[in-house]
């Protein structure tokens, strides 16, 4: 089996970002550099009037940009903006900007760099950079609060535990993640538990958890049974094995932290990720940008080829050029996947989808060429631009196949914690075409989960490169 790396048990991470805060973070990183450069130019005009800027000043600005990347880049000033943390956040930002300018001044002083010793210029520049940076974060705070107030990027969450542990988690969520989380209520691990708790709705026993999570679109399940209730953890994981919800375990004792999941903190409580999203908010944004940029470039290159294929499909047999089929996308949401039609128009039995097999009479001669070369999947680049698919990711299967395989292949539905892809790690390793045995599907899922746990932009580019070299032709694609 392929090893699936797991983070160290006591590795403390920040609580996950939403896609909005991740996007704001990336924009803020670029904006800080722009503000720094603009502040330097404005300061030069205030100090020296209309005089042109010498090369020494330009070099000082370039050094400051480098110092900013080194000092501000790794800091927490780009992750989350909550009103109650605002004074502390601004103080930290002031200290970091001070460190940037001290580094710049020391460089000039120690190396005796001529031409940039004007104290007024440095002073104007510092004030402008700090003021501009603070203003940017105020804008981000307002955008974040407006989005949360209108229900955007808000996680729906439930708690599983006993009244005392559920109350502890609820207090932590409301004090730390109130804007990002809508707490729907709690499920008791004891069927005889008190049905009510101050300010927190009781949603029933743990037996009702699975249906509620699926019907209400719950994104996070916070689990904290008592010391005598450890068996409920297994029951909850089993009940949610087909769900893509994150599961977070809050141990009753510090000694309980014996799992191999990553660890966060919530209002001082250790939180173990029994299952978490393979891509946090920042990674989602980066992968989304990667997908759309590459898809746009690829579509510009292949549009003539797609036009020729469209004509070929139309001439091969009566029917539409494109074949549209419902598949499961991110978080098991239904999406419509587009392909060039490779079969003759036919009627499937209701609720059934028959995979193409060798010498399948439904496949046209031209369609067999398209399927063997994967050219039938080129319209899916429009799915990528639409945002329902990625270029690289687990291949989407028919919904009827998902309903079957989720019961016979372990962790099958966890593939849907990421957008489906046109190509994937499984496909470039030869796992394409018909899956006529459960073992073949299990192997494909194994490769998909490995990719999800090890995602990076370089890994995506590697898979795209392997697809170009050997991924188009396959004897297993009928």
Is 10 domain-assigned? no
Say how far apart CA 173 and CA 163 lie, in whole Å.
Answer: 15
Q: How confident is the model at residue 405 (pLDDT cuts 50, 70, 90)?
A: confident
Q: 435 and 363: one domain?
A: yes
What pLDDT, on a 0 to 100 scale, did the predictor assign at position 252? 61
What pLDDT, on a 0 to 100 scale, did the predictor assign at position 268? 61
Query: Average pLDDT in the 416-439 region?
Result: 85
The dihedral sign for the CA sequence 446, 379, 372, 456 = negative
Q: Which of 224-228, 297-301, 445-449 has the lowest mean pLDDT?
A: 224-228
| End position of a domain, from candidates 243, 275, 307 | 275
Q: How confident is the model at residue 447 (pLDDT cuts 50, 70, 90)?
A: very high
Q: 443 and 459: one domain?
A: yes
Q: How confident is the model at residue 349 (pLDDT cuts 50, 70, 90)?
A: low
- Domain with residue 220: its CATH number is 3.40.50.720
Say how far apart CA 119 and CA 403 lie, in whole Å.
Answer: 70
Is 413 domain-assigned? yes
Is the predicted pLDDT of residue 8 greater than 60, yes or no? no
Residues with Cβ within 8 Å of residue 383, at least 6 apart in sequence: 335, 337, 338, 389
Give the number of domains in the chain. Answer: 3
What pLDDT, on a 0 to 100 scale, did the predictor assign at position 295? 92
Q: Which of 159-163, 281-285, 456-460 has the lowest mean pLDDT?
A: 281-285
Residues with Cβ within 8 Å of residue 347, at least 6 apart in sequence: none
Is 11 domain-assigned? no
Q: How confident is the model at residue 84 (pLDDT cuts 50, 70, 90)?
A: low
Burial class (CB in 10 A: 0-12, 13-18, 19+), 211: exposed
Query: Average pLDDT in the 73-94 region?
Result: 76
Burial class (CB in 10 A: 0-12, 13-18, 19+), 261: buried
Task: Mark residue 430 as left, alpha or beta (left: phi above 0; alpha: psi -120 to 50; beta: remaining).
Answer: left
Is 419 domain-assigned? yes
Compute and round to an integer the Cα radius of gyration of the chain: 27
Q: 287 and 271: one domain?
A: no
Q: 183 and 143: one domain?
A: no
What pLDDT, on a 0 to 100 scale, did the predictor assign at position 12? 35
Is the predicted pLDDT of residue 254 greater than 80, yes or no? no
Is 330 domain-assigned? yes
Q: 237 and 381: one domain?
A: no
pTM above 0.85, yes or no: no
What pLDDT, on a 0 to 100 scale, did the predictor assign at position 220? 87
Is 176 domain-assigned? yes
Segments of 210-256 assigned E as strands: 220-224, 246-249
Residues with Cβ within 8 Å of residue 267, at least 6 apart in sequence: 171, 172, 175, 176
Is 477 domain-assigned? no
Q: 295 and 237: one domain?
A: no
Q: Which of 35-49, 92-106, 377-391, 434-448 has the lowest mean pLDDT?
A: 434-448
| End position of a domain, from candidates 246, 275, 304 | 275
Percent of the residues in the chain that have a pLDDT greater than 70, as a whole number: 78
9 touches 258 (CB < 8 A): yes
Neighbours of 382 (CB within 10 A): 15
Query: Average pLDDT in the 6-16 region?
Result: 39
Is the predicted pLDDT of residue 249 greater than 80, yes or no? yes
Half-sphere exposure of 196 (CA within 13 A, CB side): 2
144 touches 172 (CB < 8 A): no
Q: Which of 5-19, 264-278, 426-440, 450-464 has the lowest mean pLDDT?
A: 5-19
Q: 358 and 261: one domain?
A: no
Q: 122 and 187: one domain?
A: no
Q: 464 and 354: one domain?
A: yes
Q: How confident is the model at residue 425 (pLDDT cuts 50, 70, 90)?
A: very high
* Mean pLDDT estimate for the chain: 80
Q: 304 and 180: one domain?
A: no
Say how far apart CA 57 and CA 116 lie, in whole Å.
Answer: 6
DSSP 360-400: -TTB-HHHHHHHHHTGGGTTHHHHHHHTS-EEESPPP-BHH
Q: What angle do CA 460, 464, 467 make, to 5 degrees?
A: 140
| End position of a domain, from candidates 214, 246, 275 | 275
Q: Which of 32-41, 56-65, 139-148 has the lowest mean pLDDT?
A: 139-148
Q: Quick one: CA torsion of 204, 210, 211, 216, rounded to 10 degrees? A: 90
Q: How confident is the model at residue 78 (pLDDT cuts 50, 70, 90)?
A: confident
Is the predicted pLDDT of residue 312 greater than 60, yes or no? yes
Q: 98 and 120: one domain?
A: yes
What pLDDT, on a 0 to 100 scale, did the predictor assign at position 171? 80
Q: How confident is the model at residue 64 (pLDDT cuts 50, 70, 90)?
A: very high
Neighbours of 244 (CB within 10 A): 20
Helix ranges (H only) for 150-230 are 163-176, 209-216
Is 7 domain-assigned? no
Residues with Cβ within 8 Å of residue 274, at least 6 apart in sequence: 223, 233, 237, 247, 248, 249, 259, 261
The whole domain housing 63 covers 19-149
SS3 at position 286: helix
pLDDT, one tens digit per residue, over 176-212 is 666 677 888 888 876 665 556 667 888 888 888 888 9
Q: 347 and 200: one domain?
A: no
Query: Average pLDDT in the 419-428 region?
Result: 92
């Amino acid at each position: 089996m392929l090893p699936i790396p797991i983070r160290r048990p006591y590795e403390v991470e920040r609580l996950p970002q939403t896609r909005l805060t991740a996007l704001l973070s990336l924009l803020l990183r670029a904006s800080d550099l722009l503000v720094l450069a603009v502040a330097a130019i404005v300061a030069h005009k205030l100090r020296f009037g209309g005089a042109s800027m010498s090369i020494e000043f330009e070099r000082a600005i370039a050094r400051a940009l480098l110092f900013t990347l080194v000092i501000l880049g790794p800091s927490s000033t780009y992750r989350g903006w909550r009103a109650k943390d605002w004074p502390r956040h601004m103080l930290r930002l002031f200290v970091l900007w001070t460190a940037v300018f001290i580094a710049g001044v020391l460089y000039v002083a120690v190396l005796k760099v001529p031409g940039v010793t004007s104290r007024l210029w440095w002073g104007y520049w510092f004030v402008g950079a700090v003021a501009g940076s603070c203003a940017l974060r105020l804008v981000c705070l307002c955008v974040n609060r407006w989005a949360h107030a209108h229900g955007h990027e808000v996680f729906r969450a439930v708690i599983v535990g006993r009244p005392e542990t559920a109350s502890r988690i609820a207090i932590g969520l409301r004090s730390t993640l109130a804007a990002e989380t809508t707490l729907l209520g709690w499920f008791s691990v004891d069927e005889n538990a008190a049905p009510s708790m101050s300010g927190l709705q009781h949603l029933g026993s743990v037996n009702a958890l699975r249906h509620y999570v699926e019907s209400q679109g719950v994104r996070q399940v916070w689990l904290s049974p008592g010391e005598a209730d450890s068996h409920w953890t297994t029951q909850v994981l089993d009940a949610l094995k087909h769900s893509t919800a994150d599961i977070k375990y809050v141990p009753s004792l510090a000694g309980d932290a014996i799992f191999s999941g990553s660890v966060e903190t919530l209002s001082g409580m250790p939180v173990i990720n029994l299952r978490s999203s393979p891509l946090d908010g920042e990674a989602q944004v980066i992968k989304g940008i990667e997908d759309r940029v590459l898809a746009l470039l690829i579509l510009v290159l292949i549009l003539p080829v797609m036009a020729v294929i469209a004509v070929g499909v139309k001439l091969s047999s009566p029917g539409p050029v494109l074949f549209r089929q419902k598949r499961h996308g991110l978080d098991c949401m239904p999406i419509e996947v587009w392909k060039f039609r490779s079969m003759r128009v036919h009627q499937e039995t209701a609720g059934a989808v028959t995979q193409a097999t060798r010498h399948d009479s439904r496949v046209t001669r031209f369609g067999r060429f398209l399927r063997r070369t994967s050219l039938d999947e080129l319209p899916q680049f429009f799915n990528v631009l639409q945002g329902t698919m990625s270029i690289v990711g687990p291949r989407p299967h028919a919904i009827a196949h998902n309903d079957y395989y989720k019961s016979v292949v372990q962790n099958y539905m966890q593939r849907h914690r990421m957008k489906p892809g046109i190509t994937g790690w499984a496909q470039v390793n030869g796992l394409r075409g018909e899956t006529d045995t459960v073992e073949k599907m299990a192997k494909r899922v194994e490769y998909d989960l490995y990719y999800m746990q090890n995602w990076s932009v370089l890994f995506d580019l590697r898979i795209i490169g392997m697809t170009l070299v050997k991924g188009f032709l396959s004897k297993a694609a009928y």
